[in-house]
Structure 1
């Protein structure tokens, strides 16, 4: 009987084990462009938020060219982003080179230190083992299931988290929105951070993309 209790208690301890994320982030993107990032570093006890914009390299190359439109050549003007370069190939004279690359710039940055109590409270939403249940699942398979509210359209939201343990990095899409009863742990953690730190701050609230922005039903 004592042996049975020993193994039973050991199993319970394993089931009740908690492994917390050391760092995690939520990222809004649209068409491959990162719009903002909410980063929580539990080891350093820091929460930060940044927004981004994309600008094309200047000056631009302006000219005319022919385009094939249904077999007919049409003359049209064009403007391509470019950069100024100098090299030994052109005797170090300035030359404009066409380039399609865009530069990501930080338009807003904010960060705060969290207290021991704040870290303790947010950790209740950061047990990595709870998130492991959803690894490898396609969230779009859960369209129109119990608790389904809608989906994020045009703008996507992704969760990414790492631990200091054997658990590998995990990434989970948050493009489908469920009610509170059926929410994934990603949505519960995101809503907690939004309610406690974002919506209570006027400057952050107006810069953060609302939960129901760009949502289809």
Structure 2
């Protein structure tokens, strides 16, 4: 009986090799879905090679960009400005030099309380910084403007720098949304941001 069982097993195994090969059908490879929106297709240019790329482009802006490093440079710059703006918004409302006569604690109307020449100086300084750093901002590494007085980048590997870049991008994106929320809340309620008596 054991011999008969062994022979049947061998015959079945041999039959698998002698059976005709199944006809293969072409497999259609579907495009990878977006990490941000798994139910949507990832945009073609957002292939995941850039730090922080999760395929989020609902307005399809990547399709009109010739080079995405320009868009990344603009995103990094706007994120940094938004982080500073969020801090400035809160400082304007809650921190004041003792003894100074503050008549306006509202951040949205503060630019109109100083002479036009002061605003012009700020605009000219921002323009000078923009012109001086344009080639670095929109270059291969848009986050690196050569400003590192504390030598923070020194001795860091590419993986460590990518992790830091992702952190800056994430905080910048959050700050951009937070600043919009701060402005909307201030316009709607006309009260300090952390005023509990709305």
- TM-score strictly above 0.5: no
- Radius of gyration: which is bigger? 2
TM-score tier, shorter chain, comes to under 0.3
Normalising to structure 2: TM-score of the pair? Answer: 0.22
Normalising to structure 1: TM-score of the pair? Answer: 0.21
**Higher relative helix content:** 2
**Higher relative strand content:** 1
